[in-house]
Amino acid sequence: MITLTPFSFTQLTQSFICFILFFILYEQIFYFKKKRFIPGPTLVFPFFGNAISLVRNPTKFWAHQIKLAKSTNLGISANYISGKFVVFIRDTELSHKVFANVRPDGFLFVGFPFGKKLFGERNIIYMMGQEHKNLRRRIAPNFTPNALSTYVTWQQIIILKHLKTWVKLSEHQYPNPMPLRNLARDLNLDMSETVFLGPYLGPKARESFEHDYFLFNEAFTSFPIDLPGTAFQKGRLSVFRLEKTLATCTELSKVRMQKGEEPSCLIDYWVQDTLREIQEAKLAGETSPPPFSSDAEIGSYLFDFFFAAQDATVSSLLWAVAMLDLHPEVVAKVREEVTGVWSPESDTLITVEQLRDMNYTQAVAREVVRYRPPTFSVPHIAAKDFPLTESYTVPKGALVFPSTLESSFQGFVEPDRFDPDRFSTERQEDQVYKRNFLAFGAGSHQCVGQRYALNQLVLFIAMFTVLIDFKRERTSDCDELAYVPTICPKDDCMVVLSKRCARYPSFFEVEQFTR
């Protein structure tokens, strides 16, 4: 048995302290070597870097990164988070350079800094090359004009259902305002469950699904420690249950579509086309089913749709209300346009053609998304050393954050001003400054469902302004950005609502749906 003498114990302690000091010094050198001349923190905390400040106050963290990036002509800045060197990009052209080089020898799209632990490896976010192209081709039938017209029906039904609930809640606690964020979240989750899954998710299954999705969402804003009982692990495990539920819905849809029934939701359009490919493969003598056609695979990729559609749209709904409240002249023009093509008393749904005719309302929706793109930044990882500029090379393994928000405030005429007319046929800033409009991403991973998302926002703005009178309780910091994880108003959009129309429209489908 070896006994440590006081002298040897002192030596061991000194050696340990020396090792720690050496590690701290090595990490600082490692950071400085990668940062080189670009602006960033002078010193970084060992291993954790600035991860704690990012989790505690993301608004302050990103505001500082933006300030640093603005301090040089390069438009980039550096930081260090949980052992990862970080490059933040505010310059539009450099952001496009990242989006255009998602490949094994360029940048790997991650969507979320610790996403692989949360989402799992087999996720559309992490695909690239031909496999990614093949999957996007199979997803395309979900967003044809015919499919979108089906979704427009359900979108109006869900919006009306929740607007009526919102008004009742507001009247109950009048004159006190109520926060809209959680209500908008409930609306949008209800929307996704209905539009994506239709009749395949019963009431009890919905309750479980919503609980699991809440756990998943909580994991986004938690520290990424995957230990029992942590919010991150609870969120990670909830993903397995969510995907299993979606696989079951896929199985039920296949049974219905095999009977030749008409599609009633997104998964039906997906399955209908998948069954066609399976049949063609059989006729061609192929023994294996086409890729991406199993219940588990479709369920997994359908979860990606939920993730992409949920928080991003909640953000847009909240900023739409916030901007409308700030601009009564915009509200007046929207109301005039909408009532010119649709009347609530007609008890008819807004048609796709009428939706297209709402040019100004469409412009308002696009300006909301430009002014406050839901996804502040789109994280990537450098797969290899990548020459971002002539003078700076992004080191392999670096987390790279091209900012969609900062691009929105470059190029456009008076970009700091909320101005829907910039998207008018006369000005066409959406075409002139197209490269700066990165709210839906760019390149191979550009959002495939952007038309669906814009339709929902336009319908919400149209119905919200025509059916409801609203007043926001404003404070000095209410419009500051809160990262939850998409950007939302800091105050969760505190409003007082009341019924504006003589009576709500009565859609037959609403009565059927809410029974």
| Amino acid letter, 50 | N
- Residue 13: CB atoms within 10 Å: 10
Name residue, tokens 């490919």: 277
Q: Which residues contact 515 (CB under 8 A, 6 or more apart)?
A: none
Q: Quote the distance between the C-alpha of residue 218 and its chain's center.
A: 14
Nearest residue to 361 via CA among 400, 332, 390, 381: 332
- 40 in helix, strand or coil? coil
Task: Name residue 324's beta-bridge partners.
Answer: none
| Alpha-carbon span 193 to 208, nearest angstrom | 12
> What does the alpha-carbon distance between residue 231 and residue 220 come to, in Å, rounded to a whole number?
9
Task: With CA atoms as reference, report the closest residue to 378 among 49, 95, 21.
Answer: 95
Residue 82 phi/psi, 5-degree rounding, is: 45, 50
Using CA atoms, how far apart are residues 80 and 261, in angstroms rounded to an integer? 54
Give CA separation, 148 vs 31, 178, 264, 455, in Å: 48, 32, 11, 9
Write down the H helix ranges in 103-199: 115-119, 129-139, 145-172, 181-197
DSSP assignment string, 433-499? TGGG--TT--GGGS-TTHHHHHHHHHHHHHHHHHHEEEEE---TTTTSEEESSSEEETT--EEEEEE
Q: Which residues contact 191 (CB under 8 A, 6 or more apart)?
A: 154, 155, 158, 159, 313, 456
Counted residue by residue, the chain has a size of 515
Residue 370: CB partners within 8 Å, gap ≥ 6? 408, 412, 437, 439
Per the CB < 8 A criterion, the answer to whether 425 and 329 are in contact is no
Distance CA 85, CA 136 (A): 31
The letter for the amino acid at 462 is A
Q: What 3-state DSSP class applies to 57?
A: coil
Other CB atoms within 10 A of residue 162 CB: 18
Known binder of ligand: residue 265? no
Mark 402-422 as b/e (b = at least 16 C-beta within 10 Å). bbbbbbbbbebeebeebbbeb
Q: Mention every residue, 6+ apart, whose C-beta is less than 8 A from residue 248.
A: 200, 295, 299
Residues flagged as binding site for heme? 447
Q: Which residues are annotated as a binding site?
A: 447
